[in-house]
Amino acid sequence: MLQDSSIRKSLDQYIQRRIQEIPTEIKQTFPAIKQIWKCENQLDFLYGYYVGKIEEGALHYLLKATRASAGGYVDTFEIRGIIEMQKKNLYEAIKSATN
């Protein structure tokens, strides 16, 4: 899917920017979160929540950047893989906001 290195680099930068915004977003959106349904802890819930939010935003960003249709061109598993490469940064951003 992401054969064009400039698009891949742009998508990586988008994901990194979103991760940097997470601490502020958590403090505004989840100020007093205590118990989360069906999650081991708050960190697990927020990690899953933000992986989904970033994936959705990255898909939208990629479709706009390539002017592609959602047909066979965009592979959401590839987007998820790119997000997972930033797993440590994402966890750190969430931890900094919840401590």
Q: What is the pLDDT of residue 92?
A: 93
Q: What is the pLDDT of residue 76?
A: 77
CA-to-CA distance for 1 and 72, rounded, in angstroms? Answer: 9
Q: What is the pLDDT of residue 40?
A: 67
Q: Block means of pLDDT (10 residues each) for the chain, length 99 residues?
A: 71 92 85 60 86 90 70 70 90 88
Q: What is the pLDDT of residue 88?
A: 93
Q: What is the pLDDT of residue 45?
A: 83
Phi and psi (nearest 5°) for 36? -115, 135
CB atoms within 10 A of CB 66: 16
Distance, C-alpha 23 to centroid of its chain: 13
